[in-house]
Structure formats: C-alpha cells, structure tokens
C-alpha cells in the first residue's frame, strides 16, 4: 500500500502552525482570519428544528425525507432560477467537502484506458480538495485558466467554482453559457461549486442551473451547495447537490451502498434553514460590515485587493512572496492564509477571511492602522 504522502499533497494548514504561534503571542491575542469557519450563532429556528427531531432512533434515508426534498427543490427553483427542478434533481450530501473529495471515485474515475488518462480539471487558483479528489482515485489533475481552452481528450469531470475560493471572482452569466455549451459538445460532466452563491457583494453570482445558462435542461450539469456559510451550519455538515437526474441517480446508488446518510435531525434543520430568508440577510449584513472594515484597513496598510466581489474572503497582495506577508501580519497578531495554498498562481497573495467576530475584526483593524 502506497504511503499517504505519496498519494496526497502535504496538508497545507500544517505549514501555518509556526505563524499561528507567533500571532497567538500578541499581547491582545490572535486574530485568526486564515479559515472561513463561521463564528456567529446558529439561528434559533434551525436549532429548534434540530432539537425537535432529536428523537430519531432509526436510520435516515440517503435521498432524504420528502420534506427535505421539497425544501431543496423549492430553494433551487426560487433561488437558482432552475424552474424545471424536481425531486429527482436533488440529493443531500454530508457536507460539501466530502462530496468534492470523493466525487471522482464515486463517478468511477481512475487511471483511464490505453494512453488516455481520466482527467479532472479545476481552476488554476482553487480549493485544494479538487486536486485531492483526483489523486484519491488515481485520475490526472489538470488546471485551467479558461476551461474551453483545455484539450478535451480524457477530461471526465470539469469543476467550476463561482464565487471562487480563494479569489472571490464571479463567472459572468455569458461566460457560463459558453462553458456549458463547450462541455456539452465534448461530453464532459460539469460540477459547479456554488457554495458562496448567496454572498455576492459587487457582483450577482449566477448558478449553472439557471434557465438562461442551461436552457432548462440539466444534462451534464450538477451544482453543489452548502449551508455552512449562509446559515452558520459548518458543524451540521448540511449540503446538497442539484442537477442531472441521471448523474444523481448513479450517485444515490453508490452512496446507499456506502451508507452516506445525512443525520435525520440535520435533515430537519436543513428544511428550516432553506425555508427562512431572514437569517440569511442578517448574516449577510454582518459579513458586509466586517468586509468593509477589513478592506479599508488593508488598503490603508498598503495592500491591493483583487477580485473579491463575492465569497467570504479578500484576495490581497503587497506584491511580495505570500509567506513574507503571512510573517508580517503574524507579527501584528493576525493570521491569514498564504495564496500558494491554492496554487502557484497565488504565490504573491494572501487570503483574508472576514469570518471572525466583530470584536476580533475591530482588533485587526486597529493593528493594521
């Protein structure tokens, strides 16, 4: 059996530990802006739904309760503009990271046949788990700047990510239409990671399932969504996919064999979360205020912010190696993520999350001043 180090890249966050120790030594404590972990309370109506469903002694179903499928379908139609979505077009998953990491394996991808390898393609600057998923199944991981410029030979899975993690960049609707047409022409399955779709600031993110993008057909298209950010449910592992019924049907069978079941109380909590927009708007307002405060402070400190029109991050640079920036901010008691965690193209950038509390954001602003 091959060692894990031979099969997977080094877990990037381990490299940040010395800088975390430096930041933690600050007299006023660390301001951790390195990860996008929610810190605000789970909305009460969601907690209440979880508690009300706590007496769930039986196994849940992989495909979810009818109430959950109704809630997801209704949200997909109303929020994503996917008017033709039905129960066969949605499937709950146990957090979106699990889905991203294991999707190529569940799709049956691997080394390929003959001289043509199975390939998993993802953006040049991207969430590291796309590469992990490809490597876990033995497929070839390939990066792109424009997916339509890829050699389509062997490309079995194309990841889109809009809004982007780490850059916050949004793919415009016209660009999505062009990418979908190209992928369909070459028979390439598209999975669109849209977990930050409800957190647009200077652009309005559009789903790959929007009627204008897909023409009302979900053939070859699946969107990935999570409640971690919009509802503070990272601890609940509440997420779902929506799109091509044939693809979801295959994944359902595999996930049934694998016992990949969203816990029944979490299913009930998800129904409550998707049925309420008020808590989403309240959380957006919190993030908007933190984003504005940090952006203003970073720019005054000599940073340039690129993209960042959506998501929970500022993509910032001082035009120096990212680890120099990480070290500089750590001396101020501020921890950020180095851009090269997300690809070599991020070598001069850092990703700054605005998921800290108001008090910690205020502390960072003061230190940057």
pLDDT digits (tens, 9 = 90+) for 281-295: 999 999 999 999 999
- Structural domain range at position 362: 4-41+279-368
Task: Give the CA distances from residue 252 to residues 90, 93, 120, 245, 247, in Å, rounded to whole numbers and listed in that order.
Answer: 10, 10, 21, 10, 9
**Whether residues 226 and 80 fall in one domain:** yes
C-alpha span between 141 and 42 (Å, rounded): 36
**Whether residues 216 and 290 fall in one domain:** no
Domain closes at, from 274, 308, 333:
274
Domain closes at, from 217, 243, 274:
274
**Whether residues 159 and 11 fall in one domain:** no
**Whether residues 194 and 332 fall in one domain:** no
CA-nearest of 9, 11, 15 to 335 is 15
Element holding 335 (H helix, E strand): strand 334-335
Structural domains of the chain, count:
2
**Whether residues 201 and 328 fall in one domain:** no
pLDDT tens-digit series, residues 312-323 = 999 999 999 999
Which stretches in the chain have pLDDT values below 70? 1-11
In this prediction, what percent of the chain has a pLDDT beyond 90? 93
CA-nearest of 198, 195, 288, 283 to 237 is 195
**Whether residues 261 and 352 fall in one domain:** no
**Whether residues 132 and 230 fall in one domain:** yes
Task: Give the CA distances from residue 83 to residues 73, 205, 216, in Å, rounded to whole numbers and listed in that order.
Answer: 9, 17, 7
Whole-prediction pTM value? 0.94
User: Residue 306 maps to which CATH number?
Assistant: 3.90.1150.10
Q: Edge-to-edge strands of the sheet including 304-306? A: 304-306, 313-317, 350-353, 337-338
User: What are the structure tokens assigned to 69, written together?
Assistant: 């499928």
The dihedrals phi and psi of 214, each to the nearest 5 degrees, come to -100, -5
pLDDT of residue 327: 98
Task: Give the CA distances from residue 5 to residues 8, 107, 108, 126, 148, in Å, rounded to whole numbers and listed in that order.
Answer: 5, 24, 23, 21, 32
pLDDT tens-digit series, residues 211-225 = 999 999 999 999 999
C-alpha span between 264 and 270 (Å, rounded): 10
**Whether residues 85 and 164 fall in one domain:** yes
**Whether residues 89 and 234 fall in one domain:** yes
Residue pair 190/183 in contact by the 8 Å Cβ criterion: yes
How crowded is the C-beta side of 138, counted as CA atoms within 13 Å?
Answer: 9
pLDDT of residue 107: 96
**Whether residues 30 and 71 fall in one domain:** no
**Whether residues 36 and 63 fall in one domain:** no
**Whether residues 174 and 96 fall in one domain:** yes
pLDDT tens-digit series, residues 315-369 = 999 999 999 999 999 999 999 999 999 999 999 999 999 999 999 999 999 999 9
> In b/e form, how buried is each residue of 22-42, taking b as 16+ CB within 10 angstroms?
bbeebeeebbbbbbbebeeeb
Q: How are the residues of the chain apportioned to helix, strand and coil, as percentages rounded to the nearest 5?
A: 45, 15, 40
pLDDT of residue 112: 73
C-alpha span between 190 and 173 (Å, rounded): 15
Burial of 227 (C-beta count, 10 Å sphere; 0-12/13-18/19+): buried
Domain closes at, from 274, 299, 324:
274
């Amino acid at each position: 059996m091959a060692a894990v180090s031979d099969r997977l890249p080094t877990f990037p966050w381990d490299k940040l530990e010395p800088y975390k120790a430096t930041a933690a030594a600050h007299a006023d404590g660390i301001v951790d802006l390195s990860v996008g972990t929610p810190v605000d309370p789970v909305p009460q109506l969601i907690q209440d739904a979880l508690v009300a469903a706590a007496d769930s002694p039986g196994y849940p179903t992989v495909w979810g309760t009818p109430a959950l499928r109704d809630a997801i379908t209704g949200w997909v139609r109303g929020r994503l503009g996917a008017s033709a979505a039905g129960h066969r077009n949605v499937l709950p998953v146990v957090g979106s990271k699990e889905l991203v990491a294991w999707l190529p394996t569940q799709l049956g991808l691997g080394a390929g046949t003959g001289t043509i390898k199975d390939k998993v393609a993802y953006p040049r600057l991207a969430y590291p788990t796309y590469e992990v998923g490809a490597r876990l199944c033995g497929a070839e991981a390939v990066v792109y700047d424009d997916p339509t410029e890829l050699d389509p030979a062997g490309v079995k899975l194309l990841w889109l990510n809009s809004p982007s993690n780490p850059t916050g960049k949004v793919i415009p609707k016209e660009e999505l239409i062009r990418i979908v047409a190209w992928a369909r022409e070459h028979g390439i399955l598209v999975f669109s990671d849209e977990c930050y779709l409800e957190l647009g600031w200077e652009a309005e993110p559009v789903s790959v399932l929007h009627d204008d993008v897909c023409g009302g057909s979900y053939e070859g298209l699946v969107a990935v969504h999570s409640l971690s950010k919009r509802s503070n449910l990272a601890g609940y592992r509440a997420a779902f996919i929506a799109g091509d019924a044939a693809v979801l049907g295959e994944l359902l069978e595999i996930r049934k064999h694998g016992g990949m079941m969203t816990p029944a109380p979490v299913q009930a909590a998800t129904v409550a979360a998707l049925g309420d927009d008020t808590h989403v708007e309240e959380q957006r307002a919190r993030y908007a205020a933190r984003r504005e405060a940090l952006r203003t402070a970073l720019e005054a400190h000599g940073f340039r912010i690129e993209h960042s029109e959506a998501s929970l991050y500022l993509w910032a640079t001082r035009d120096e190696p990212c680890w120099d920036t990480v070290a500089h901010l750590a001396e101020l008691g501020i921890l950020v993520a180095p851009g090269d965690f997300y690809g070599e193209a991020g070598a001069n950038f850092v990703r700054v999350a605005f998921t800290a509390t108001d008090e910690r954001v205020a502390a960072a602003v003061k230190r940057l001043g």
